[in-house]
Amino acid sequence: MPVLLEAVIGVGSERELRTTLQHIVDTAAELTDARYGALGVVDPERGLLTELFTAGLSDAERERIGALPDGCAGVLGTLAEGTQPLRVPDLSADPRSSGVPPGHPPMRSFLGAPIRVHTEVFGHLCLTEKRPTEKRPAEKRGGAFTDEDLALLRVLASQAGIAIGNARLYETARCRERWIEGAAAVTASLLTGDTAADALMTVAERARLLADAVAGVVLQPTREGGMEIVAASAPDDPGDIVGTTIAPGSPVLVQLLGGEPVFIEDSATDPRMTTHVRTRFGPSMMLPLQSGGKLIGTLALPRRRGAEPYTAVDRLLAAQFASQAALALVLADAQHNRERLAVYEDRDRIARDLHDLVVQRLFATEMMLESTRRRAAKASGDDTDELLTRAVDELDSTIQEVRTAIFALQQPPADAPTTVRGRVLRETDGAGALLGFRPSVRFEGAVDTVVGEPAAGQLVAALRTALAAAHRRPGVSSVQVLVDAAAVLPDGRPGVRLEVTDDGRGDGTGGGTDGASGDDGTRGTTVTWQSPV
């Protein structure tokens, strides 16, 4: 009794479930003089054993036994179906026994009890091979388990059921708390102004950590009717997940497009999975991200092959997280659109102010200087006329540069390119609005790869200046722009060269390396800029 009471008290005092269950099976084997003991924990959904705690077996013997029994056949299956303990004097002679697994130590006597809480089976507590003991008379040494052993096993099985039930309730509460905190963190992160790509990655990363998955993946619908992986958090994966597409008509896709979650036991063998990356993963769940009845994407959380399948609690909490994340994505997108609209409206206001106030005043000043120049030319010498002409040209240049800035301000912020090619094309498009035609552009070499900062910024600035100069020259009807990323500078260093050629009449401007140089001529002007990369 003291040992039994100590075991019962230990069940209530231990906070770690695995330690408690191991303590129960060790105590049961000690109290009943059993050579071997086992406590199996059953998955309540599938009725299969998920964990097995043993007493009397070495690590080498556990290895020889191999995989866990499913708990549905033989004596264990009989235990699961009933509510009473089971005592068998000789397993080899009992018709309910399905035999001893290969590598298992020999067993004869058996004593087992189901671990239940109310009507739910949590597992089995089993003892085998009653050993002889000096505490008993000679005629009772060894052999079958006694009524006293049966009573002890009942008490310990009930305590194990209470321990497992309480631990599962506690773990469910903790798990729910983590998912709620994760959903709140995702919502807060998305509403702080992340870009669309960062928002999807935030959802994938946080869900992966909460679900203890090997990858967190977000898919979005494609124009063809399929779904494509657009964001993936998979630290241990080769990195080719993004871009993987689920073909239209896939059974998985039919469920997702209908707003139904998909739960998979083994991605590598499930016939519904058709992507090339499925062979890397085991249990998985795919949860629709929908808001207001509209599907905006799918959250997939695969685990590695051989990992534990998701429980009903995992599925429920992950589905709730997906619903919250979908709402947060919609709100973040709406907020981002409002912020973009506010920025665009502000830029448009600045552009209008520049056009209505600055440009008009500069133009009026240019007209007055032009009128003054003509009158001064009649009354004074050529020096005054030359100074006024230069002032008029400078004002005209300033007006064109301000107009180019106005055009840039009027472009939506989302259209701002980040590559060197995109920035060059943006400048030529803007100049085309002023020239009345679009300049032709030619690239040579790996421009986006070779040209970095600050050379890229200097190149764009030089291009803007050259295009403004071309606009000031009379008779310009064509402009050719060449960006050569494979150029070699006069000193032999690799560099990038910009050439802007037009067919107008005008004067060139001097310069040199890292600057601009022009060629005077009656017709046609070439401005060259070059810089090391």
pLDDT, tens digit, for every residue of 450-477?
888 888 888 888 888 888 888 888 888 8
Radius of gyration of the chain (CA): 40
Of 120, 137, 169, the residue at which a domain comes to its end is 169
pLDDT at residue number 514:
40
Of 169, 203, 230, the residue at which a domain comes to its end is 169
Same domain, 58 and 134: yes
Is residue 343 in a domain? no
Q: Which of 159-163, 237-241, 304-308, 403-407 has the highest average model confidence (pLDDT)?
A: 304-308
DSSP states along 370-432: HHHHHHHHHHS-HHHHHHHHHHHHHHHHHHHHHHHHHHHHTS-GGG---SHHHHHHHHHHHHH
Same domain, 206 and 294: yes
pLDDT at residue number 58:
82
For residue 271, say if its preceding peptide bond is cis, omega within 30 degrees of 0.
no
| pLDDT bucket at 311, cuts 50 / 70 / 90 | confident
pTM of the model: 0.54
Of 192-206, 365-379, 505-519, give the lowest mean pLDDT range.
505-519
Number of domains comprising the chain: 3
Is residue 278 in a domain? yes
Of 285, 302, 329, the residue at which a domain comes to its end is 329
pLDDT at residue number 397:
66
User: Rounded to whole angstroms, how far apart are CA atoms 65 and 104?
Assistant: 5
User: What is the 3-state secondary structure of 134-168?
Assistant: CCCCHHHCCECCCHHHHHHHHHHHHHHHHHHHHHH
pLDDT, tens digit, for every residue of 503-522?
887 654 433 334 444 444 44
Is residue 228 in a domain? yes
204 Cβ neighbours under 8 A, 6+ residues apart? 216, 217, 218, 231, 232, 233, 299
Is residue 449 in a domain? yes
For the beta sheet containing 34-42, the strands, ordered from the edge strand earlier in sequence to the opposite edge, are 49-55, 34-42, 120-130, 110-117, 86-88
Same domain, 121 and 205: no
Same domain, 150 and 49: yes
Same domain, 239 and 152: no
pLDDT at residue number 453:
81
Domain with 25 in it: what CATH number?
3.30.450.40
How many residues are there in the chain? 533
- Backbone φ and ψ for 101, nearest 5 degrees, come out as -60, 155
226 DSSP 8-state letter: -
- Backbone φ and ψ for 477, nearest 5 degrees, come out as -120, -10
Question: Which among 254, 252, 259 is positioned nearest to 274, based on CA atoms?
Answer: 252
pLDDT, tens digit, for every residue of 248-265?
888 888 888 778 888 988
User: Rounded to whole angstroms, how far apart are CA atoms 528 and 440?
Assistant: 16
Of 243-252, 288-297, 416-425, 445-454, give the lowest mean pLDDT range.
416-425
Task: Show the domain range for 483.
Answer: 419-533
pLDDT at residue number 489:
86
| pLDDT bucket at 219, cuts 50 / 70 / 90 | confident
pLDDT, tens digit, for every residue of 387-427?
777 777 777 767 666 765 666 665 555 455 667 888 888 88
16 DSSP 8-state letter: -
Same domain, 152 and 14: yes
User: Rounded to whole angstroms, how far apart are CA atoms 403 and 355?
Assistant: 7
| pLDDT bucket at 351, cuts 50 / 70 / 90 | confident
User: Rounded to whole angstroms, how far apart are CA atoms 312 and 45?
Assistant: 8
Domain with 526 in it: what CATH number?
3.30.565.10
Same domain, 140 and 201: no
| pLDDT bucket at 7, cuts 50 / 70 / 90 | low
The encoded tokens of residue 141 equal 């040494």
pLDDT at residue number 65:
73
* Residue 107 CA from chain centroid, whole number: 51
